[in-house]
Structure 1
Amino acid sequence: MSSHKSHGPLFTLSDVIYLILGVISTSFALKSFLVPNHFLDGGVTGISLLFHEVQHWNLGVLLILLNIPFIILAYFKVSKHFAIRSSVAITLIALILNFAHFPELTHDKLLVAIFGGFFLGIGIGLCMRGGGTFDGMEVLALMTFKKSSFSITEIILGMNIIIFLIAAFFLKKETALYAILTYVVASQITKYVIEGIEAYTGVTIVSANSEEIKKALVLTLNRGITVYKGERGFMKESFEQSADVDIIFTIVTRLEVRKLQNIVRSIDPKAFIFTNTVREPQGGIVKEIVKH
């Protein structure tokens, strides 16, 4: 029995738009760049392309068959809605691969790797924004993530390394190397499409005026904060001199970083501020970008 309950309608208008655009972008990447040039990618899509190249089996049928176990897993372990949306996306891509025509735009290997990965990444990201996926490897990575200390990105990378090594054995080593380039481009574009301008940034602030800064962040910027108790000072010339201080931590979107810095600087120009990228935030009041 799944521990995840589905809420809301099966499809919203935004879901449909994202899924359709994702399917079109993915199909375009495969038909116009990767398939005509015998290129590979990572995940189940990469395995399907590998079988298609080695055994000449139908790519659309392979995508459906190889994703079935992962869709079943998603149905019970993620959510019914996620599984159904993913099934629709995979089926539409398979139909387009078999019945639609896209022009072959280039045979330059570098351009194929870059632009094939670019449109594939857009397709993956849009499908995920629509609450589904067309590559079951992400579902397996999500399941493994819950039982390991590795991030989802690291798990998917590890799985794809195995795929690329197999590709190097059955196909040319050059093909495997270009597959890695395609995967890197696709993964970076996917990350941008999913996170977009809402990519999260963690901000840590150390200031003697922490009380004013806390009020400004919560009441003006409307952000939740976490406060650590610490000490400041410990300079080389005055090592013995220190003072208690509240160390403030908050998470904002990429566009809010500059606004936050301006607020803090207006209160304490000497405040120590540093930022770091926040990956896969969960819980608290941070909203989820990708729906499951």
Structure 2
Amino acid sequence: MSFLPSPRLCLMNLAGSAILSFGLYHIHSLSGVTEGGILGATLLLQHWFHISPAWSGLVMNAVCYLLGWKLMGRDFILCSLVAGGGFSLFYAIFERFPHLWPHLASHPLAAAVLGALFVGVGVGICVRAGGAPGGDDALAMSISHLTGWNIRWPYLLSDLLILALSLTYIPLERIGYSLLTVILSGQIIGFMQRCPARRADVS
């Protein structure tokens, strides 16, 4: 029995993580639009409690992956390792090059919409392949698996909670753009989940 997922699932997770990392580097990293979920939570903890995102992100992601493993099994963890590792690899490659659209920093509405497209499609492909490139995705997939909800609702609820708490230090206007991008990306992921690809066995 092979330890790794099938080549098809590996390629899908790598493709999704490449699209996700491309969008985060070329759009979100310079747009000033914050995130919900775990990324937003790490920024919140850093602002109020001076806890480094390197540590808080590590702990929260680990908890979410552990929950996913308990609920969804070995295949989920293996696919998520490919997706998460692919994200780190592709982001490291992309950041060696200049940003393609530096002017997006002064156009937060365009950045919110375009960023949501890359995040939604990238994560959506990974979800269809049974993987989660980040702790947020693992948490949403676990809640969806446990409750039977469409995956867009766990994404939206967790993002709304973090964005509401982020109002304690981020201007309302920027939160509005962030809300737009998380709603759009969650809807895209949910749409892709409703049209799942044929699942291949992990053998």
Shorter-chain TM range is: 0.7 to 0.9
Residue 33 of structure 1 corresponds to which residue in structure 2? 27
Q: 1:52 to 1:144 in 2, by over 3 A?
A: same
Residue 120 of structure 1 and its aligned partner are, at CA, apart by 0.6
Question: Quick check: 99-108 or 174-183, which moved more?
Answer: 99-108
Identity of aligned residues (%): 21
Residue 172 of structure 2 corresponds to which residue in structure 1? 173
Residue 14 of structure 1 corresponds to which residue in structure 2? 8
Residue 64 of structure 1 and its aligned partner are, at CA, apart by 4.6
Name the amino acid aligned to 1:168.
Answer: L
Q: CA RMSD in A?
A: 3.4
Equivalent residue of 1:40, what SS?
coil
8 Å CA contact 1:48–1:63 kept in 2: the answer is yes
**Alpha-carbon distance in 1 for matches of 2:167, 2:158:** 15
Name the amino acid aligned to 1:77.
Answer: L
Could you say which structure has the greater relative contact order, defined with CA pairs below 8 angstroms and 6 or more residues apart?
A: 2
Equivalent residue of 2:31, what SS?
coil
- How many pairs are equivalent? 196
Higher relative helix content: 2
Higher relative strand content: 1
Determine if the alignment matches structure 1 residue 92 to structure 2 residue 86: yes
Name the amino acid aligned to 1:17.
Answer: L
Residue 52 of structure 1 and its aligned partner are, at CA, apart by 7.4
Q: Which runs of 5+ in 2 are unaligned?
A: none
Residue 190 of structure 2 corresponds to which residue in structure 1? 191
Q: 1:97 to 1:164 in 2, by over 3 A?
A: same
Q: Which runs of 5+ in 1 are unaligned?
A: 1-6, 199-286
Determine if the alignment matches structure 1 residue 73 to structure 2 residue 72: no
8 Å CA contact 1:130–1:291 kept in 2: the answer is no
Q: 1:88 to 1:53 in 2, by over 3 A?
A: farther
**Alpha-carbon distance in 1 for matches of 2:27, 2:124:** 18
Name the amino acid aligned to 1:176.
Answer: I
TM score, norm. by length of structure 1: 0.56
The 5 A counterparts of 1:204-243 are: none
Q: Which has the larger radius of gyration?
A: 1
Residue 57 of structure 1 and its aligned partner are, at CA, apart by 5.0
Residue 56 of structure 1 and its aligned partner are, at CA, apart by 9.8
**Alpha-carbon distance in 1 for matches of 2:80, 2:37:** 15
Question: Quick check: 108-117 or 62-71, which moved more?
Answer: 62-71
The 5 A counterparts of 1:5-154 are: 10-48=4-42, 64-98=58-92, 100-101=94-95, 102=97, 103-105=99-101, 106-107=104-105, 108-144=107-143, 152-154=151-153
**Alpha-carbon distance in 2 for matches of 1:51, 1:132:** 27
8 Å CA contact 1:141–1:152 kept in 2: the answer is yes
8 Å CA contact 1:168–1:175 kept in 2: the answer is no
Equivalent residue of 2:60, what SS?
helix
TM score, norm. by length of structure 2: 0.76
**Alpha-carbon distance in 1 for matches of 2:146, 2:130:** 23
The 5 A counterparts of 1:242-257 are: none
